[in-house]
Every structure is written in C-alpha cells, then in structure tokens.
Structure 1
Amino acid sequence: MEPYLQFHAPLPFYTNLSANLYPCSFISKMTAFMYNLFAFVISCLILILSCKSRAKRLNLPPGPPGLPVVGNLFQASRSGKPFFEYVDDLRRRYGPIFTLRMGTRTLIVLSDAKLCHEAFIEKSALFASRPRENPTRNIFSCNKFTVNAAVYGPVWRSLRRNMVQNMLSSSKLKEFRTVREHAMDKLIDRLKAEADANDGVVSVLKNARFAVFCILLAMCFGIEMDEETVEKMDEVMKAVLITVTPRIDDYLPILSPFFYKQRKRALRVRKEQIDYIVQFIEKRREALLNSGSDRSVMSFSYLDTLFDLKVEGRKSPPSDSEIVTLCSEFLNGGTDTTATAIEWGIAQLIENPDMQSKLFDEIQSTVGDRKVEEADIERLTYLQAVVKELLRKHPPTYFSLTHAAVEEEAKLGGYDIPTDANLEIFLPGISDDPTMWTDPEKFDPDRFYLGKEEADITGVRGVKMMPFGVGRRICPGLGMATVHVHLMMAKMVQEFEWSAYPVNGKVDFSGKLEFTVVMKNALKATIKPRVSG
C-alpha cells in the first residue's frame, strides 16, 4: 500500500510498462516511428561515448544486456508480460539486485529484505531522495511540490511535517470518526441496494472505492458533497491518472517533440483539474470566515493546513495550483490503494470460507449484535492477522515509491548507485521469499494469529514486508490506511456472508496493473445479509 498517499503522485510510470508503452493506437505507427528513432541514433551515440568512460568506472549491479541508446526498453515491452512479471523473471536470473537500462534511465531493482534494510534503515538519509523526471511530465506535481515526489530537502520536510502532525496523527484521525461511520453506513446501504437489484450479486472494488473516496473528500475539503459531486470529482481525479500513464519519451526525452499533442492534452486536463478543485478551495475559505453558519461544514480539514503553510526556503504560502496538487495527492493516494486491498481481502475470504467464519465468529463474540466500531479493532486479533496477511500477500502496488541516492559515491550491496538512477523496490520478492516465510504462496492469517511468524510493517524491527515502504520516506498515511482497511473488512463481514459468483465458481487470483495491482477479472460476489440475534 506504499504509499497510501499517492500518495504516489501518481504511480511510478514504468510499473505498467508493457501494458502502456505501446497502446493499440500506437502499434500501427511503430514502423514509421522506428525510422524516426533511427534518425536520432547518431546524435545519441555522441552522448553515449561521452558517458562511456564514466560508466566504466561504475560497478553497477548485473543485468540483461541491452541495445544501444534504448537499452532494455524494447526487450521489456516485447516480453509480452506485465512489467512486474518481467522483473520477477529477471530477479530469478540476476539475483536480488540488478540493473535495467530503459533509454536514458537506469533502473536498479531491489527484491531482498537485507538490501532494503541496508538502504532505507541503515543508510536512510543516503537513499531518501527521488529521481529526476522529464520536466514536461511535472505538470501535475507543480515541479515535485508533493509529499511523495519532493526531493529530499526542506520542501519535503515542510510538506511531510504538515501532513503527519496536522492531519494524520492519531489524535487528528479521531476527529474524522463520524465521517468514517457515515461512509461505512453508506457502503452497506449501497451493497444492499445493488444486491436487491441483481439477485444478490455486487461489485466489490467499485463500492469499496466509492466509500473510501467519500471519506478522503470529507477529510480533504471539510465539506459534505452529494453523490453527483463525488462522482464528478472522481472523474477529474481519474482523468489525471490516465493522462500521466507511460509514454516512450519518458525514457527517450529526445522524442518529446513527437508527443506535443499529448502534452497539449495534459495541459488541458491540468487546467480542468485546477478550475474544478479551486471552487472547493474557495468554498472552504468562505466557510472558515463564516464558521458555524453552515452545518455541512466540518470543523477541520487537510485544506485548512495548507492555506498558510510555511515552507522552508519560501516566503509565500502555497499557491492555489500547488494546493490543488497537494489535495490531489491526498485523494489519489488513498483511494485506489485501499479499495484494491479490500477487493483482494474479500476474494480471499470467499476462497477460504473457514477464515470468513472464524472472522465473523470473532466479531460476534467481541462485539455482539451492535455495529462494529473503530474502538473494537484492537480487540479483534484475528481481523488484525487477516489484514496483515492481506498486506503481505497482496500489496496494492508491487513497486514501492522510487528512491534515489543523494550523494555521488553511494554504495549498496557492494555496488555503485549513481544519483541519476531510479532505485526500485520489488515488494513480492520480499514478502514471498521462502527463506523468510513458511509457505509464502499460501494465504495464511494463522501465521500471525498463532504467533508462528511475525513482521513489523514499519521496518523498525527488521524488514520482512514493506507495503508502506520503510525508513524516512515511509508512507505518512500508514495509520489512516490500516484504520480504513480494518474497519471496512470488519463491517462487510459483520453485515454479509460472502460467496462466489457464479455460485460454486472459483476466484481468479491473477492480477493486472492499472493504477494499483487489481484483480484481472474485477471481483463480483454473492452476498447474503447476516441474521441478527
């Protein structure tokens, strides 16, 4: 779930490489495109030769041989596999740390717990930054003015401190308990209505996503929104995510002139995003000036912390466009990650009805017939084990946020890590490591519930799984994420018995990468209301 606040702004562009590098409309143009590409080879070779002596001095991790100029870029796209499967194959061949050259970008991929501990715990300050990006792709981040995209330095410290202390601390999260309760009631009502209209069949991801998006909207803007407004805001957020999907000029910036139409569209989407969200920013400003006159206005929101935010090294508070960027990060980061976790969690409970029964029995014995509340979660130990195993087995993103070294002579695992390299963490390589876990392919909450195995998801007591990242750039929304996942799972199991659709069907656990790693076939389930008493 790293990071819960995308918390990615947005997901790393390369994680959906093989799915997005060559969209269908693009394939028909590839022959002409390759001729155009060849025209640039000579000029690129000059750059290669100038860098050759430096490259010889670097002791980079091993990796597959690549082509001149493009490196491994086309090999990855022609593999016919999602990028995370391509990486999984390479780590088995080259080991827990290897190098991929993707055009002008160098990717160094980690898939080992000890290496991650060395990089992000032992040497946390050394690998706490973010890599440079194609400047034309920074439209939506206001030149990295976000918690997760900012380079390691004063801007990042200011933004993160504000988010953690003034919004995501345990005391601040408690202020939004009523918001969560209202969203959970709405979720249950939507599921009941959909089941009544479809012979008991419901869509899991869609409903979970709507519920968590409502929570985050209220937390972000401090204003209640009707369903139509929620859906419109969701459309705006999705348009942003779609616009920043991968392009080949992300890897070969010299080709950027060929993508002027895409840049023009990105500017248009950005303008629409700003125009739409600024009206809610202004509404909140007015509400704060007239506090107490509008019952739909909450007493506190993330937006409130941004109006007069003091950023180190700057004399003025964030502009409206920067506030839009920070709000969008908050919304986009927390929505799909949580909803994806819920989809995989319900799928596992359907596939393992004994686990579902055990969880329901724990809720009944602990809570009784009243509605489960947040205060109950700390007593629901089997629920906690289920969620922990869920985050181990199905992290919503397979790649943690990209890191970068802050010093030229950084070393990791005995290898050189240049400052312009993307340091990537392949999470399944850690959470599925058979040397660290018993039967890692098996979904088994008892490994935690019975104390047979343990793992600290913060990485403080060692790295065995890191769905939220670890170290200085650990996801600031970890606490909020776990509250949402625990509460939604408990509510959905308390209210309904979940079974497969079609009846007696098998759940397909293959995944695909969209904004997160979702189920390849969106989960539909049959629900039956529990009999109270």
Structure 2
Amino acid sequence: MENKRNLCIQIISFLLAQLIGFATIILHKFLKTKKKTPPLPPGPTGYPVIGSLPEMIKNKPTFRWIHKLMQELNTEIACIRLGKIYIIPVTSPELAREFLHKQDEVFASRPDYMSGKLTSNNFLTAALSPVCDQWKKMRRILASKLLSPAMHKFLHHKRREEADHLVEYFYKCCQTNHGLVNIRFAARYYCGNVIRKLVFGKRFFGTGMEDGGPGIEEKEHIDGIFTILSHLYGFAIADFVPCLEVFDFDGYKKILSDAINSVKKYHDPEINKRVEMWQQGIRKTEEDILDVLINLKDTRNNPLLSIEEIKAQITEIMIAAVDNPSNAIEWAMAEMINQPHILDKACKELDRVVGKDRLVEESDLPKLNYVKACVKESFRLHPFAPFNVPHVSTKDTIVGEYFIPKGSHVLLSRPGLGRNPRVWKDPLRYKPERHIIDEASKVVLVDHELRMLSFSTGRRGCVGVVLGSTITTILLARLIQGFKWTAPLDGSNIDLVESEGDLLMAKPLIAHSMP
C-alpha cells in the first residue's frame, strides 16, 4: 500500500512538473510574441469608450485638426480613436503604397458609415460599398460597360457637344458684365452638363438660360451634389457612434437626406420614364449610360439591375464626376493668371499642336504635355477633398513599424501627400514643370507611386480615370486656347487664399476674359 502511495505521488509530481514546464513555455512564447507586437501609430490617448470624439466635435473642420495634430507629433502616420474606431491618417507615400499596393486586399473594404449608407441607398453602388458581392457586381459593370474604352469612344460626340457649348457660353459671358467671369460657377456647370449628357442624354433638366447657362433646375441639382460631397465621410458623429444617429446632433443626416432628395427629384423621373419607354418598346436604341444600365441582362436574360440599383449608381456617378475637374480648373486658372509665363507657355503649346484655325479636340490631348502638367500640378497642390474615401482593414496587420488593428479606417491625406516637403521641392509653389521628366515622357494625371492622390489606385481605385482626365484637360485647354485671361481690371493678383472650412478657394475665382 505504501509503495502504491509513493508511486502515485511520483506520477503526480512528474505530471505537475510537466504541466509547469509546458505552462512556462507557453507563457514565454506569449510574452515574447506580445513584446514583438509593434505599437499603434502615434496619436492622442483619448478618453475611455469615446476616445477623441470631444476633440473632433470641438475642432472643426476635423481635417485641419487632424493635420495640425500630425504636425505637432511630427509624424506621417497617426492613430486617432473616435468611439471604437481607429482612424489612421497617412501623409507618407511609402506607407500609402504599403496600404494600397502591398496590402491592398487587406484594406479593400469601406466603412459602414451613416453618410455612405444614405448616399449609396444602403450600399447598392460600386465606390461606397464594403467588400461584398454587390460591390463586385457594380464595379464589374462600371469597368466593363459604363467606363470601358469602347463606351468612352461611343460617347465622344456628347462630350464634344458640351465642349463646344462651353466655348459659346464663355463667349457670351465675355460680352456682358465687362468680361468678368465666375470660373467656379462655369466650371461646375460645365462638368454637370457633361455628365448629364452622358447619363441622361440631355444638358438641362429644364430649358436653361438664354445665354446658354444653367437654369434653376441645374443650379439646384449641382448644389445638391456639392452638398452631398461636402458631407459624405465628413466626420459626422453618427458615423462613429451609430446609436446616436437618431438624434442627429450635428445635423449631418438631415443635410445629407435633403441634398439626396434634391438630386433624386431630377434623377428619378428621368429614370422611371426611360424604363417605361424601354418596356413599351418606344425606345429601341442605346444612346447613353442610362440606356446601358436599363438593358443589362443576367444569364437568364432578366434585368441585371433593379431600378433602385440604377438610381443609386447614377447618383454615385454624378457626385464622382463634378468635384475634382471643376476645382482643379478653378485653382489652375488662378495660379496661371498670377504667373503669366505659365499661361503663355500653355498657349504656345496649344498653338504648336492644334494651331489657330480650329478648337482643341480630345484627340489632341495626348500631345498636350504641358497643359496636362498644369492640370496635374493643380491636383497635387489643390485637391478638392482632404482625404480619399476611407479604406477599412479586414484583419490585424502591420504596416511600416506600426500595428494596424482590424476595423481601422485608413485615410490617405491628399494635401499631406501632395504637399509633403520630404517628397516635393518647394511644395507650396505651383510649378507644372516638375511633372515633366524629359521631352519624351508623357504626363498622366494619376500617380501610382502615391506621391500625390488625384485618382485613387489599387483594388478600390477609380475606374473613371480616363473620363475624369479627359473632362478636366479639355476644359482647361478650351479655356486657355479660346480666351485671353487676366486678373480683374484693378490690376491686382488673384487672391490664392484657401477656405478655412474646406480646400476650395476662399472666394470663387472671378477673372477677366477676352476672346
């Protein structure tokens, strides 16, 4: 009996020793792994539960607070917790490439924000939807049907009509108001005219004005679009604390809802009427983007898209087409008027490539390297939006020397990248020549190295690069070829002050034009 007791004690002692040894090994590995996990990017500590939400609410506009915070921390990547969400702003092109190139698949999703959900009608569209089958379907349609090279060529005559109308409208403007022209107004409505013509086959929802300018309907339409743009991903409280959406403390939900309804007021009747025309056999030929969307079929020859999907995607196309081109041209014209030698150089390139006997056409654009450099420099120095559309991490990962938790929202800073003094010499100076490496090189408006962010790249990159580049470049080329531009007649330079609340010019550009 004693021997058995001793044997049991020995066995138990052995098992305990093995268990302690095993536990020691596991604990050692755990501590070793924990020790190796990099830290989060630098940022404010924040409060329990709510993080830095009070600072976000207090310091408006939020993007300026974020950039100021990064400057104070002397960092090109930061981590700011808003509620339960980690916001990761980035101004480093190397880290930006890590996010959108090397780990593109990890950061390919979008956030479930109130503002994105409202704008996309519960995520029915391509650009704003999280990674899912719906996103894949809509992106495939955009890339292969709506924004394909064949479709771009098919719709060329509509873009040309609007480019011709632009010159006629500016010519009439020159004859009135002592030649003073509101460039912001004209650029925005030209972009609106183009995308309305491509989508609906018509320039105006109403009759327009006698001088060829937009009527009340088009003004309301464009105002609605730009209101959506200014509030989409605009750091609404409900985007970070969804349970507070019902209270709408900052008013974002109401403002967005009203703007969306204002846009739908003009879209929905056009779409409903067109669907009915196809169903009744009244319309038989595809002439624009709306026709194409209506006639898409699945494998069983049933409509591929519901009417709600068509309406949501058309709204997204509209808001994606007007902001960057109009803003870039307003800033480019202001900078070029203040630096007449740049304007003169662009005019001489147009004279050399196109001549003076005809207007510049889209077929000329590949040869207009300097004009495209002027556009690209405006994209670099004066972006419309402070950040790209957020990218969401789908798993824990490491970028650079930092730990990026699953669910983090990555924001690439457009001014932070484009004005980074480590990357660009004299970053605040408008200098188109910086984009021309040599005479043989061709200027393209997208920068895949992410030293600037004109059109996003990667898995969630902009599929409308060709259309956006074309609209922007032909607009600038027509303006500087057809008209002589100077500052208002008081002789002063254009005031290049940036608005405090956004990245627009503080005052709309008013310039003097002469045919």
Query: How would you bin the TM-score normalised by the shorter chain?
Result: 0.7 to 0.9
SS in 1 for 2:459: helix
After TM superposition, give the deviation of residue 104 of structure 1 in Å.
3.7
SS in 2 for 1:97: coil
Question: Deviation digits for residues 14-66 of structure 1, max 9, x if unmatched?
Answer: xxxxxxxxxxxxxxxxxxxxxxxxxxxxxxxxxxxxxxxx9xx8832110232
| 1:433–1:440 Cα contact (<8 Å) kept | yes
When the two chains are superposed, the root-mean-square deviation of aligned CA atoms in Å is 3.1
| Residue identity in the other structure for 2:67 | D
The corresponding residue for 2:168 is 189
Pick from 320, 327, 344: which aligns with 1:340?
A: 327
2:367 maps to 1:379: yes
| 1:448–1:454 Cα contact (<8 Å) kept | no
| Residue identity in the other structure for 2:197 | A
2:188 maps to 1:209: yes
Cα distance between partner residues in 2 of 1:152 and 1:334: 23
Pick from 384, 387, 409: which aligns with 1:396?
A: 384
5 Å-filtered alignment, 1:83-98, equals 83-94=62-73, 95-98=75-78
The corresponding residue for 2:411 is 424
The corresponding residue for 1:280 is 270
Q: 1:239 to 1:412 in 2, by over 3 A?
A: closer
Question: Deviation digits for residues 155-202 of structure 1, max 9, x if unmatched?
Answer: 212111111221212231122222222212222222232332211111
| Residue identity in the other structure for 1:277 | H
2:311 maps to 1:324: yes
2:423 maps to 1:442: no
Q: 1:354 to 1:239 in 2, by over 3 A?
A: closer
| 2:293–2:310 Cα contact (<8 Å) kept | yes
Cα distance between partner residues in 2 of 1:466 and 1:150: 21
The corresponding residue for 2:513 is 527
Q: Calculate percent identity across the aligned residue pairs.
A: 26
The corresponding residue for 1:120 is 100
After TM superposition, give the deviation of residue 416 of structure 1 in Å.
2.4
| Residue identity in the other structure for 1:335 | V
Q: 1:247 to 1:385 in 2, by over 3 A?
A: closer
Cα distance between partner residues in 2 of 1:236 and 1:382: 34
The corresponding residue for 1:415 is 402
The aligned length equals 464
After TM superposition, give the deviation of residue 352 of structure 1 in Å.
0.8
Structure 1 window deviating more from structure 2 (276-285 vs 203-212): it is 276-285
The corresponding residue for 2:10 is none
Q: 1:454 to 1:308 in 2, by over 3 A?
A: closer
Cα distance between partner residues in 1 of 2:227 and 2:385: 20
Structure 1 window deviating more from structure 2 (462-471 vs 221-230): it is 221-230
The corresponding residue for 2:26 is none
Cα distance between partner residues in 1 of 2:465 and 2:500: 22
Question: Deviation digits for residues 407-443 of structure 1, max 9, x if unmatched?
Answer: 2x22212322223221111122222223322222221
Unaligned segments of structure 2, at least 5 residues:
1-33, 209-214
After TM superposition, give the deviation of residue 490 of structure 1 in Å.
0.6
2:48 maps to 1:62: no
Pick from 439, 451, 470: which aligns with 2:438?
A: 451
Q: 1:366 to 1:316 in 2, by over 3 A?
A: closer
The corresponding residue for 1:480 is 467
Question: Deviation digits for residues 378-418 of structure 1, max 9, x if unmatched?
Answer: 112211221222222222222111001122x2221232222
Cα distance between partner residues in 1 of 2:117 and 2:483: 44
Cα distance between partner residues in 2 of 1:240 and 1:433: 29
Cα distance between partner residues in 1 of 2:423 and 2:443: 10
Cα distance between partner residues in 2 of 1:395 and 1:62: 26
Question: Deviation digits for residues 181-228 of structure 1, max 9, x if unmatched?
Answer: 221222222223233221111100110111111110111123453424
Cα distance between partner residues in 2 of 1:230 and 1:220: 14
The corresponding residue for 1:73 is 53
Structure 1 window deviating more from structure 2 (484-493 vs 87-96): it is 87-96
SS in 2 for 1:420: coil
Cα distance between partner residues in 1 of 2:340 and 2:201: 39
Q: 1:440 to 1:480 in 2, by over 3 A?
A: same
Cα distance between partner residues in 1 of 2:220 and 2:498: 28
TM-score, normalised by the number of residues in structure 1: 0.78
SS in 2 for 1:416: strand
Cα distance between partner residues in 2 of 1:299 and 1:467: 32
Question: Deviation digits for residues 41-93 of structure 1, max 9, x if unmatched?
Answer: xxxxxxxxxxxxx9xx88321102323443223324444x6333322222223
Q: 1:213 to 1:273 in 2, by over 3 A?
A: closer
The corresponding residue for 1:469 is 456
After TM superposition, give the deviation of residue 106 of structure 1 in Å.
2.1
Question: Deviation digits for residues 225-259 of structure 1, max 9, x if unmatched?
Answer: 34245345435545655776654333333433433
| 2:106–2:393 Cα contact (<8 Å) kept | yes
| Residue identity in the other structure for 1:284 | R
Q: 1:275 to 1:442 in 2, by over 3 A?
A: closer
Return the structure number with greater relative CO, CA threshold 8 A, min gap 6.
1
The corresponding residue for 2:8 is none
Q: 1:238 to 1:96 in 2, by over 3 A?
A: closer
SS in 2 for 1:128: coil
SS in 2 for 1:326: helix
The corresponding residue for 1:256 is 245
Question: Deviation digits for residues 133-173 of structure 1, max 9, x if unmatched?
Answer: 24x87233122111111112322121111112212122311
Unaligned segments of structure 1, at least 5 residues:
1-53
Cα distance between partner residues in 1 of 2:126 and 2:509: 32
Structure 1 window deviating more from structure 2 (232-241 vs 124-133): it is 232-241
The corresponding residue for 1:19 is none
SS in 2 for 1:472: coil
Structure 1 window deviating more from structure 2 (94-103 vs 264-273): it is 264-273
The corresponding residue for 1:174 is 153
The corresponding residue for 1:500 is 487
| 2:91–2:420 Cα contact (<8 Å) kept | no
| 2:486–2:512 Cα contact (<8 Å) kept | yes
| Residue identity in the other structure for 1:528 | M
Cα distance between partner residues in 1 of 2:285 and 2:161: 13
